[in-house]
């Protein structure tokens, strides 16, 4: 049994504050879902937990079983049991998926311990077939030439093999068709145990047909404004967020989009001359 | 993300040990016509070879320095010793090789390598080949594989027919120097239709301070024959500059195939100026697999002269310039006949203020109708203080052939690092993985043993620097 605590977390990106005091506590054997309108900081929360270099924590704490996560490097967080399934996984030319996954498995072992090749192949082949992935995928370069859906499945493949305590799934459902969504959802759902919990970030309720959440949280304006169970999720799915905004007296400001007129640059240059 | 750890990649020279060897004879420092003639006499060469040497020396004396690349005019030719004989005669039995020389080769792991991968071994220690072993089955096939000096004695006709033809005496200043003072190297002749499956291999080492090494390699692949030759270079570390000016000549007859693989890992005080050229007849195929990790200054542009229709040339290369290194490397493809094709894949990496250039020439002559070439140059720059230039020269002199050229320059990508680290790899492991991925198109072309060595070399150096 493990515990992940997020306490009064404030996070800025390029000087702009995105998270303004997030509080969240979760245990293994629990699935939490975070919903919320676009641009409210869901992905920021996910990336910050993992330690992405772009996000600056200005205040607050993240604790994993009481240990200070924020003082850990990205790789330490991973080895301590955190996992981020990314919305846009990187492509690595020249490195095969299996080589990458094997190195990641090896990184979890103590000094002098070697991963058994037999165990590795068994784990890889097992997970590949459970995710109904193309069997040649492990031998291809990491995410290179993968379709959107293949990339997402590849994230879940790593999740299944690396077996973290907590997984953060950042919009893992985008780019998946109905069948893939079911396969991915069921695979994650089956992992739920005393040793595994997940924080699921999503726009769509459909993924949650397969990943059954225990708790629902709504993130708005950089804070968790409401937490509840399945009923909260269903209400949002049916009615959207307006009722909640009204109740809380929140006016979310849509991103200011600057108007771009095509040809301006050229015109300016001509005038400048 | 902080890239400080990248500064130390490639700084420790793994093979920087020296062995105390008593030299039997040397010509002293400096070069003159007298020295050139002495070398020829010491070797009991025929008169025609002595004359070629003298002719080449006179060409070298003109000092037509290269008009491109790194500044090398401060090379002082009077500082070098041009010929050293370290053991009295060539040994064919490993047991007879002097113990300290064996020790050096043991540190390089050459005997183990021999057992596993090689069909034949000739190792050059300083100027004279001390160990040579050709497996009997090769001899039965009529394959000739020996050091170049022995070849001149044993096979004078074939030697005279091909020597200094692909790289003529007047070719360039450093090939002329090599022709004047050459010593050792490998000679290979593959008879008609003979295909050799296992690679043939040779190791070279420079072991005397300020000694120039001028080995000469001559490979002749007869019609329909095929061979893969692997040359390995590692040298002990010394404080003073040392010159290495080699010449490799390859002649591929109709339908023949030759692959020449090298991972050059000279210590970082060597000036490496090498002329490598292959002449390819109809439907022949030459492949240069060329790795450049070591040396202080390196100028090397393996060339294919595609002389017959449907001849094919391939160069796959990497160059790694670390602190204090200047790698000026590339490839040349000269298309002289219809339907010839060529491909160049070049991968360059620089760090710690190193400079790495790709310098290449692809020329389709008037006669090279429907010729095709593809050039791909990728550069990975690991820090802010290192530099790289891509200098391609692409010439098409007819209106039916085409050349494709692609080039990319990139840095180690922070998002890739984050991705790999988020799976538990340390920053060093992640960086290493990205670099290994970058050079994979090269590494996959190497024999297994070499790929592992290359991999280990980069890994060791990175681990050592990060702690």
Q: Tokens 């400079």 identify what position? A: B355
Give the pLDDT confidence of A58-95 residue by residue, as tens digits.
999 999 999 999 999 999 999 999 999 999 999 999 99
Contacts with B465 (C-beta within 8 Å, 6 or more apart), sequence order? B5, B7, B8, B9, B11, B12
Could you please report the per-residue DSSP string of B189-241? EE-TT-B--SPEEEEEE--STTB-B--EEEEEE-TT-EEEEEEEEE----SS-
What is the average pLDDT across B54-76? 93
Query: Do B366 and B449 belong together in one domain?
Result: no
Pick the last residue of a domain from B387, B414, B441: B414
- CA distance from start to end of chain A: 69
The helix (H) or strand (E) run that includes residue B349 is strand B341-350
Residue A58: closest CA among A222, A254, A256, A252: A222
For residue B358, name the pLDDT band (cuts at 50, 70, 90).
Answer: very high
- Whether B71 is in a domain gets the answer yes
Query: Do B155 and B209 belong together in one domain?
Result: yes
Rounded percentage of chain B residues whose pLDDT exceeds 70: 76
Checking B61-67 for CB contacts under 8 A at 24+ apart, the result is B62/B173, B63/B173, B64/B172, B64/B173, B65/B173, B66/B172, B66/B173, B66/B299
Query: Do B429 and B390 belong together in one domain?
Result: no
Q: Tokens 């592992």 identify what position? A: B452
Most trustworthy range by pLDDT among B332-346, B396-410, B434-448: B332-346
Query: Do B38 and B173 belong together in one domain?
Result: yes
Q: Tokens 């890994």 identify what position? A: B459
B344 bridge partner residues: B315, B375
For residue B303, name the pLDDT band (cuts at 50, 70, 90).
Answer: very high
All residues of chain B having their beta carbon less than 8 Å from the beta carbon of residue A92 are: 416, 419-420, 433-434, 437
Query: Do B409 and B419 belong together in one domain?
Result: no
Instruction: Give the residue ranges of DSSP H helices in B31-98.
Output: 33-42, 47-61
Check whether B22 has a pLDDT greater than 80: no
- Whether B314 is in a domain gets the answer yes
Query: Do B440 and B368 belong together in one domain?
Result: no
In eight-state DSSP terms, residue A15 is T
Q: Domain range holding B136?
A: 19-414
Give the pLDDT confidence of A185-199 residue by residue, as tens digits.
999 999 999 999 999
Pick the last residue of a domain from B369, B389, B414: B414
- Helix (H/G/I), strand (E/B), else coil: B257: strand
Question: Distance from A8 to chain B by nearest Cα, in Å?
Answer: 24
All residues of chain A having their beta carbon less than 8 Å from the beta carbon of residue B422 are: 50-51, 74-75, 77-78, 83-84, 86
Q: Which region, left, alpha or beta, applies to residue A171 given φ > 0 means left and ψ of -120 to 50 means alpha?
A: left
Mutation site for B-interface testing, chosen from A48, A89, A90, A140 by largest number of B Cβ within 10 Å: A90
CA B421/CA A82 separation, integer angstroms: 12
- Whether B142 is in a domain gets the answer yes
- Whether B400 is in a domain gets the answer yes
Rounded percentage of chain B residues whose pLDDT exceeds 90: 55
Instruction: Give the residue ranges of DSSP H helices in A85-147.
Output: 97-107, 117-130
CA A264/CA B174 separation, integer angstroms: 57
Query: Do B106 and B188 belong together in one domain?
Result: yes
Give the pLDDT confidence of B98-154 residue by residue, as tens digits.
665 566 556 555 554 443 333 344 555 544 554 455 567 788 899 998 888 889 999
CA B465/CA B208 separation, integer angstroms: 28
The number of domains in chain B is: 2
Rounded percentage of chain A residues whose pLDDT exceeds 90: 65
Chain A residues with CB within 8 Å of chain B CB: 50-53, 73-75, 77-79, 83-84, 86, 89-95, 99-101, 103-104, 107-108, 141, 158, 162
Q: Which residue has the higher pLDDT, B121 or B17?
A: B17
pTM, two decimals, is 0.81
- Cβ distance of A75 and B427 shorter than 8 Å: yes
Chain B residues with CB within 8 Å of chain A CB: 1, 413-416, 418-427, 429-430, 433-434, 436-441
The burial of B20, by beta-carbon neighbours within 10 Å (0-12 exposed, 13-18 middle, 19 or more buried), is given as exposed
Pick the last residue of a domain from B393, B414, B435: B414
B87 vs B25, B81, B84, CA distance in Å? Answer: 9, 16, 9
- Helix (H/G/I), strand (E/B), else coil: B293: coil
Query: Do B445 and B363 belong together in one domain?
Result: no
Question: Distance from B378 to chain A by nearest Cα, in Å?
Answer: 12
Check whether B242 has a pLDDT greater than 90: no
Query: Do B410 and B437 belong together in one domain?
Result: no
Q: What is the pLDDT of residue A270?
A: 37
Q: Are the C-beta atoms of B445 and B345 separated by less than 8 Å?
A: no
Q: Taking CA atoms, what residue in B is nearest to A52?
A: B418
Query: Do B38 and B130 belong together in one domain?
Result: yes
CA A108/CA A118 separation, integer angstroms: 17
Q: Are the C-beta atoms of A210 and A185 separated by less than 8 Å?
A: yes
Joined tokens for residue B299: 């100028």
Ordered domains of chain A (ranges, CATH):
3-272 (3.40.50.300)
- Whether B8 is in a domain gets the answer no
Q: Are the C-beta atoms of B328 and B299 separated by less than 8 Å?
A: yes
For residue B208, name the pLDDT band (cuts at 50, 70, 90).
Answer: very low
Q: What is the pLDDT of residue A219?
A: 93
Q: Strands A55-64 and A3-13: what pairing?
A: antiparallel
Pick the range with the lowest mean pLDDT from A21-30, B126-135, B209-218.
Answer: B126-135
- Whether B1 is in a domain gets the answer no
Could you please report the per-residue DSSP string of A223-239? EEEEEE-HHHHHHHHHH
Pick the range with the lowest mean pLDDT from A69-78, A98-107, A199-208.
Answer: A199-208
Check whether A267 has a pLDDT greater than 90: no
The helix (H) or strand (E) run that includes residue A10 is strand A3-13
Q: Taking CA atoms, what residue in A is nearest to B438?
A: A94
């Amino acid at each position: 049994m493990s515990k992940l605590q997020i306490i009064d977390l404030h996070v800025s990106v390029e000087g702009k504050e995105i998270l303004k005091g997030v509080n969240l506590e979760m245990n293994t054997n629990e699935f939490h879902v975070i919903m919320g309108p676009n641009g409210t900081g869901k992905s920021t929360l996910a990336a910050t937990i993992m330690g992405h270099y772009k996000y600056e924590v200005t205040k607050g704490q993240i604790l994993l079983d009481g240990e200070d996560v924020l003082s850990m490097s990205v790789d330490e967080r991973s080895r301590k049991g955190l996992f981020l399934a990314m919305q846009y996984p990187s492509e690595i030319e020249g490195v095969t998926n299996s080589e990458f996954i094997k190195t990641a498995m090896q990184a979890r072992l103590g000094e002098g311990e070697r991963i058994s090749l037999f165990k590795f192949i068994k784990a890889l082949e097992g997970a590949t077939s459970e995710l109904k992935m193309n069997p040649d995928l492990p031998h291809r370069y990491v995410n290179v030439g993968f379709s959107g859906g293949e990339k997402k499945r590849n994230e879940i493949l790593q999740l299944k093999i690396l077996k973290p305590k907590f997984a953060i799934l950042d919009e893992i459902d985008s780019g998946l068709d109905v069948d893939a969504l079911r396969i991915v959802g069921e695979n994650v759902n089956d992992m739920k145990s005393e040793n595994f919990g997940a924080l699921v970030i999503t726009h769509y309720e459909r993924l949650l047909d397969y990943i059954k959440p225990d708790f629902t949280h709504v993130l708005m304006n950089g804070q968790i404004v409401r937490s509840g169970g399945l009923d909260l999720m269903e209400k949002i799915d049916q009615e959207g967020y307006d009722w909640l905004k009204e109740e809380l007296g929140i006016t979310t400001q849509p991103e200011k989009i600057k108007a771009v007129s095509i040809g301006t640059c050229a015109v300016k240059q001509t005038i400048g001359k | 993300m902080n890239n400080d750890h990248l500064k130390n990649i490639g700084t420790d020279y793994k093979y920087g040990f020296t062995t105390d060897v008593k030299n039997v004879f040397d010509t002293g420092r400096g070069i003159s016509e007298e020295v050139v003639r002495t070398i020829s006499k010491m070797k009991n060469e025929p008169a025609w070879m002595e004359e070629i040497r003298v002719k080449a020396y006179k060409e070298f004396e003109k000092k037509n320095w290269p008009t491109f690349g790194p500044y090398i005019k401060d090379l002082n030719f009077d500082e070098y010793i041009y010929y050293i004989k370290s053991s009295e005669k060539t040994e064919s039995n490993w047991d007879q090789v002097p113990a300290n020389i064996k020790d050096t080769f043991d540190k390089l792991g050459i005997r183990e390598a021999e057992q596993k991968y090689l069909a034949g071994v000739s190792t050059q220690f300083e100027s004279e080949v001390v160990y040579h072993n050709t497996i009997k089955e090769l001899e039965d096939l009529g394959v000739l594989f020996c050091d170049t000096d022995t070849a001149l004695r044993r096979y004078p006709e074939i030697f005279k027919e091909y020597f200094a033809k692909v790289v003529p005496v007047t070719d360039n200043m450093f090939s002329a120097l090599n022709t004047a003072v050459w010593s050792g190297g490998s000679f290979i002749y593959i008879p008609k239709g003979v295909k050799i499956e296992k690679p043939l291999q040779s190791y070279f080492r420079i072991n005397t301070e300020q000694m120039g090494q001028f080995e000469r390699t001559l490979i002749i692949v007869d019609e329909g024959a095929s061979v893969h030759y692997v040359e390995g270079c590692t040298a002990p570390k010394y404080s003073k500059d040392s010159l290495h000016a080699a010449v490799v000549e390859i002649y591929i007859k109709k339908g023949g195939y030759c692959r020449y693989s090298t991972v050059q890992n000279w210590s970082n005080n060597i000036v490496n100026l090498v002329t490598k050229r292959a002449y390819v007849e109809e439907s022949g195929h030459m492949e240069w697999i060329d790795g450049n990790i070591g040396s202080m200054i390196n100028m090397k542009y393996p060339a294919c002269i595609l002389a017959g229709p449907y001849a094919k040339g391939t160069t796959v290369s990497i160059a790694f310039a670390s602190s204090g290194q200047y790698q000026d490397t590339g490839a040349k493809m000269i298309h002289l006949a219809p339907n010839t094709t060529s491909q160049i894949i070049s991968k360059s990496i620089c760090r710690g203020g190193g400079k790495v250039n790709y310098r290449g020439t692809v020329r389709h002559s008037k006669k090279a109708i429907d010729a095709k070439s593809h050039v791909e140059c990728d550069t990975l720059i690991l820090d802010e203080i290192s530099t790289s230039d891509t200098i391609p020269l692409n010439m098409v002199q007819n209106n039916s052939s085409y050349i494709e050229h692609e080039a990319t320059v990139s840095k180690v990508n922070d998002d890739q690092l984050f991705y790999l680290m988020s799976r538990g790899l340390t920053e060093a492991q992640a960086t290493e993985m990205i670099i290994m991925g970058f050079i994979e198109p090269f590494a996959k072309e190497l024999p297994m043993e070499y790929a592992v060595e290359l991999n280990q070399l980069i890994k060791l150096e990175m681990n050592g620097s990060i702690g």
